[in-house]
Amino acid sequence: MSVKSELIAAKVDINLKNAFMAIAERKHRPASQILRDLIRVYVENNKIPNKETLETFHKTDRNEDVFYAENVADLIQQLDL
């Protein structure tokens, strides 16, 4: 089964492009594959609800503790560190 694909065109600073292409070559990976991987990660991290939110829902369904903190100091206090 083949997946339909589309072409995405984007303008990028030439120095950034050259650095990206050099890294891709050094890692022996096609630049297009790296970009596809980055797009997948971006989409996954921005789903609503995202993975972290779903995990929190599952924890509360199982009556597990879930910590919410206003800031780092609040978190440290809640964790009794």
| Predicted confidence (pLDDT) per residue in 28-54, tens digit | 999 999 999 999 999 988 888 888 888
pLDDT of residue 1: 62
Backbone angles phi and psi of 9, in degrees to 5: -110, 135
What pLDDT band is residue 78 in, cutting at 50, 70 and 90? confident
Report the mean per-residue pLDDT for the chain.
Answer: 89
> Within 13 Å, how many C-alpha atoms sit on residue 9's CB side?
0
Cα 75 to Cα 19, 54, 67, 78: the distances in Å are 39, 21, 8, 5
Residue 2: phi and psi, rounded to 5, are -100, 150
User: How many whole angstroms separate alpha carbon 51 and alpha carbon 46?
Assistant: 9
* Helices of type H across the chain: 14-26, 31-45, 51-61, 72-78
Domain ranges within the chain, ordered by starting residue: 14-78
SS3 category, 39: helix
